[in-house]
Amino acid sequence: MPQATSSELSDHGDVPVEVSLGRPLDRLAAHLIDSAMIGVPLGLGLIAFAGFPGSPAALAVSALGLLLTIVACVLQLVGVARRGQSIAKRVMTLQLKTDEGKLPGLPRVVVLRNLIPTFLSALPFGAGILFTVVDALLIFRTGHRTLHDVFAKTKVIALAEVPRSKRIAMLIVGGALTFASQLPVMTFRSYEVDGPSMEPTLVHRDRFLVAGLDGFVDPRRGDVIVLRSPADGADILKRVIGLPGDRVEITAEHVLVNGARLPRRHLRDVEGGAVYEERIARATGPEKVYEIMFQTRARPRAEREVPPGHIYVLGDHRDRSNDSTNPLIGSVPIDQVHGVATGTFYSATREWRRPL
């Protein structure tokens, strides 16, 4: 694509120098890196805060992510206001100017042209990638302007020719950072509890986060998971009790895994039953401790071996759960698991942030 040239005034005096409108690929590389400088710490901070409640380390990571996001915003704001260059634009020898050829020192121009689109590019759950793609298409369509350039009456000029190797390297780095800024967030999804099957752990209308990608989940005993029900295809929330090869048996009062009872002790009586603490051993790490609830004795189920590639799941409310004890569900294929619940981030009845 031919580059249009124009005469601009150097920042170091009144000597006119020939500069050209920034190449689309140079602009795209700078735009990706500018967005990722905000998106990476922001995404990690959000995931640490919402996805791992109860962890002091996660709280520290979320605070650090917020701090780095603020620092990145300030650096971009100051750089564009003073020099017309963010860090990435400076590396790519690009400069932002108004249509009148002045530096965009006015806060209105800086906010409209720099901070708002950068934040839009850093939005989580794929929205940032969509905005970045649309912005990139507009750059190639117009040669040098995007919608916010037109709105803010700005343009990007090239102060020097960028070597091809540098351009390719910056595009790779920018693309990788943009992907990295979205990947942690895209692997987390939010769900709302519908029904009593996981009481007392989760109650109706609690909202929680689930980590994982379909087909890439490796659940452990005791994990709370979201999976697709083999009975009707609906998403259901259950706890993993048996892994492939485990032998699971249910008596009137206990659950046995590989012939051993899951330790259980009474905690309190509640309306509609009693609450017990139950423990289940894991292949590595400490036992998983959680609460269950029931009123009536369970209907005994003969010992069954969990088939390869399947898991055995139960609800924490043993009286009111449609789970693997239902012949229409039975052992569930692992590839039907959407992800592992990490913690709540909203509850209408209890503290908001609770690990699961």
Catalytic residue numbers read 197, 238
Domain that holds residue 162: 5-186
What is the CATH classification number for the domain harbouring 198? 2.10.109.10
Pair 226, 157 in one domain: no
Q: What is the pLDDT of residues 212-243, one digit of tens each?
A: 877 788 999 999 999 999 988 899 999 999 99
Pair 150, 216 in one domain: no
Question: Residue 98: what residue type?
Answer: T
Pair 182, 202 in one domain: no
Q: What is the pLDDT of residues 6-57, one digit of tens each?
A: 333 333 333 333 344 447 788 778 878 887 888 888 877 877 776 676 677 8
What are the CB-based long-range contacts (under 8 Å, 24+) for 18-22? 19/95, 19/157, 19/158, 19/159, 20/157, 20/158, 21/143, 21/144, 21/155, 21/156, 21/157, 21/158, 22/92, 22/94, 22/144, 22/156, 22/157, 22/158
Question: Which of 138, 167, 186 is the last residue before a domain boundary?
Answer: 186
Pair 164, 244 in one domain: no
Rounded to an integer, what distance in angstroms lies between the CA atom of residue 45 and that of residue 51? 10
Q: What is the pLDDT of residues 161-207, one digit of tens each?
A: 888 888 889 889 888 888 877 776 677 888 889 999 999 999 988 98
Is this structure's pTM higher than 0.75?
no
Pair 204, 143 in one domain: no
Pair 165, 79 in one domain: yes
Rounded to an integer, what distance in angstroms lies between the CA atom of residue 204 and that of residue 207? 9
Pair 147, 83 in one domain: yes
